[in-house]
Amino acid sequence: MTTTAKYTTLDLLRHGQLETPGIFCAPPKAPLSHIGMENLFKTTRKGNWDIIISSPQQRCIEFAKQLASQKQCELLIDEQFKEMNFGDWVGLKSETLWQESSEMYQQLWQAPDDFIAPNGEAMQEFYTRVNTALDKILIEHKNKSILLITHGGVIRTILSKALNINTLSVIKFNIAYAQMSRLHCYPDGHFSLEFLGKQD
C-alpha cells in the first residue's frame, strides 16, 4: 500500500498476552500464549501498512514476522523499541516485587523520572532512546503508514511526547495486551491521537 497522506500514521500495538502470566517484565525470549497471538491477529485483521517496525524481543517479533508475511509488508527490526531494561527485575512477578522491593517498586509509580531498577536502565536513558528512535522513523518514513509492534513502556513514552503529558500521568495509562492506538504525526511536530482499542 502506498499512501499519499500529508501526515504520517503511526499505529502503536502492544504485544499479546504472554505464556507465563503475572510477570512484571518478561525476559527477551518469553513467548506469547496462543490467545495472545490470536488476539493480535484479530486486532490487525483489517489493517494495512507501508511498513511494520518491531521490537526485537520475542513477544513482538514472533508475531511481526507472521503479520508482515500475511500482509506482504516490509518488516524492520529496531533495537531501540525494545522494552526498558529492568535489570534484576526481569522475569520476576509483580507480587514478588511488592513483597521484596516495595519501596523501590512504589517509586516507579510515584516518581518515575528518577527510577532505576537494580542493574537496569535509567528511566531518563529509556526516554531518550525511544524518543530518538521515534524522531528517526518519522523522518525516514514520512507520510507513510507505520505499524509499531512494541511494549507498554515504549508506547507510554511515545504518548507522553505526542500528547505533552508528564510521565507521572502517562504511566497510569492502561495499555492492554493486543491494544492498538493511532497517532497522526504532522510535519510541524504536532500529533493527534485516535483510540482504536481491541478489534473483535
- CATH code for position 81: 3.40.50.1240
pLDDT digits (tens, 9 = 90+) for 120-161: 999 999 999 999 999 999 999 999 999 999 999 999 999 999
For residue 136, give the H/E element and its range.
helix 123-140
| Lookup: cell for 54 | 518491531
Nearest CA to 171 out of 192, 149, 155 is that of: 155
Structural domain contains residue 98? yes
| Lookup: cell for 93 | 512477578
Residue 113 has pLDDT above 50, yes or no: yes
Residue 96 has pLDDT above 70, yes or no: yes
The torsion angles phi and psi of 106, rounded to 5 degrees, stand at -65, -30
Residue 200 has pLDDT above 50, yes or no: no
Least confident of 49-53, 59-63, 190-194: 190-194
Structural domain containing residue 108:
8-197
Single pTM value for the model: 0.93
For residue 195, give the H/E element and its range.
strand 191-197
Q: pLDDT tier at 172 (50, 70, 90 boundaries)?
A: confident
180-185: strand order across its sheet: 74-77, 51-54, 145-150, 8-14, 180-185, 191-197
Structural domain contains residue 37? yes
Residue 199 has pLDDT above 50, yes or no: no
Q: How many domains does the chain have?
A: 1
Asked if 157 and 84 count as a contact pair (C-beta separation under 8 A), the reply is no
Residue 3 has pLDDT above 70, yes or no: no
Structural domain contains residue 164? yes
pLDDT digits (tens, 9 = 90+) for 150-168: 999 999 999 999 999 998 8
| Lookup: cell for 91 | 522475569
What integer pLDDT is reported at residue 22 of this predicted model? Answer: 87
d(CA 76, CA 96): 35
Residue 54 has pLDDT above 60, yes or no: yes
In the predicted model, what is the mean pLDDT of the chain?
A: 93
Structural domain contains residue 93? yes
Structural domain contains residue 3? no
Structural domain contains residue 33? yes
Nearest CA to 162 out of 137, 183, 142, 132 is that of: 183
Structural domain contains residue 1? no
Structural domain contains residue 2? no
Mean pLDDT, to the nearest integer, of 181-192? 94
Residue 77 has pLDDT above 90, yes or no: yes
